[in-house]
Chains A and B, each alone.
Chain A
């Protein structure tokens, strides 16, 4: 199972402690393709598209509007 995480160091948490999951483009349990844009996070007027690291079933960990930081695992993709 592959983790879907916010890239480490994407923003300076000393200046902006938190971002949010702005959108999920698939519902929990969906089949996703490797490289598909599955979510979008937003922090400090910046949006960042999150892609699936591998094909498989999506398991959402942080829902829409949930708080995130660099390194937060927002979902897992089960390639089985």
Chain B
């Protein structure tokens, strides 16, 4: 699979990152070449469409924004996903073919994430961690703690089905801060979801050896990303 890799190193507002991700549908549908986008944003809570149906969603959105956690809505499923400058958002956008399935697309992205983590000597596997935020069967874990969450969206574009599989990797963020934001959102919005910090880890926390700065680690991950894709070539945005 030939994949174009697009990396945006600067943190940009979450709305811009999501919009850039969604615009890739049209780009991929136009020429048929899959794309892998990497981006990050200042703190935000990226929720799924179903979360908008919570009874006090609007009030929660206002309160979280005042706390410095703007609430954005994504197209894919799942629950609230906290992001920040220490998390890296990946989006693998591909045309669906005859053998495409939801499970296959998840395994494809999980393979990229686990290959990436292996270059840091992090033993990763797919596992659902119920106590983590936005739990799912195809989430990536290290030593029993969630380190990356995956979700997916299928949409018809230019007459073909386009599959976007997204991953949010916790590179260097405090799990307590991430979970506090998620739990506050659901409490205010009238939801019942709850997560615990011990169910989540980061590359910084899990990685052996001396600690490096967040920016250095993020840039290191972006630098290694193309090699984690089975076949690809690189373009920077």
**Are B101 and A10 in contact (CB-based, < 8 A)?**
yes
B224 at interface (Cβ–Cβ under 8 A)? Answer: no
Measured between beta carbons, the chain A residues less than 8 angstroms from B137 are 15-16, 44
Q: B residues 45-61 with Cβ under 8 Å of A? A: 48-50
Question: CA A9 – CA B153 in complex, angstroms?
Answer: 16
Report if B69 contacts A (CB, 8 A): no
Interface: A57 (CB within 8 A): no
CB distance from B227 to the nearest CB of A (A): 27
Are the C-beta atoms of B136 and A22 separated by less than 8 Å?
Answer: no
Stretch at the interface among B2-10, B14-22, B72-80, B84-92: B72-80
Q: Is the CB of A45 within 8 A of B136?
A: yes
- Decide: B153 and A37 in contact? CB cutoff 8 A: no
In the complex, which of the residues A9, A47, A51 contacts B76, with contact meaning CB atoms closer than 8 Å? A47
Task: Collect the chain B residues with CB atoms within 8 Å of residue A40's CB.
Answer: 49
B151/A45 in contact, CB under 8 A: yes
- A37 touching B101, Cβ below 8 Å: no
Out of B49, B50, B77, B134, name the residue touching A46 (CB < 8 Å). Answer: B77
> Once the chains bind, are A46 and B154 in contact (CB under 8 Å)?
yes
In the complex the two chains form, is A44's CB within 8 Å of B154's CB?
A: no
B102 within 8 Å of A by Cβ?
Answer: yes
Contact with B along A50-63 (1 / 0, CB 8 A): 01000000000000
CB contacts (< 8 Å) of A45 on chain B: these are 48, 76-78, 134, 136, 138, 150-152
Q: Say yes or no: is B233 at the interface (Cβ < 8 Å to chain A).
A: no
Known: A10-B101, A12-B103, A15-B103. A46 touches B156 (CB 8 A): no
Taking CB atoms, residues of chain B closer than 8 Å to A72 are: none
Is the contact region of chain A dominated by helix, strand, or loop, or is it mixed? Answer: strand
Residues of A within 8 A of B136 (CB): 44-45
Of A15, A37, A47, the residue contacting B77 (CB under 8 A) is A47
Q: Once the chains bind, are A9 and B155 in contact (CB under 8 Å)?
A: no
Chain A residue at smallest Cβ distance from B138: A44
How far, in angstroms, from A62 to B5 measured CA to CA in the complex?
40
| Known pairs A9-B101, A11-B102, A22-B50; A47 contacts B156 (CB<8 A) | no
Q: Which residue of A lies closest to B157 (CB)?
A: A49
CB-CB under 8 A for A46 and B151, given A15-B103, A15-B137, A22-B49: yes
Q: List 27 A-B contacts (CB under 8 A).
A: A10-B101, A10-B102, A11-B102, A11-B103, A12-B102, A15-B103, A23-B49, A37-B156, A40-B49, A43-B102, A44-B77, A44-B102, A44-B138, A44-B152, A45-B78, A45-B136, A46-B76, A46-B151, A47-B48, A47-B49, A47-B75, A47-B152, A48-B153, A49-B154, A49-B155, A49-B156, A51-B156
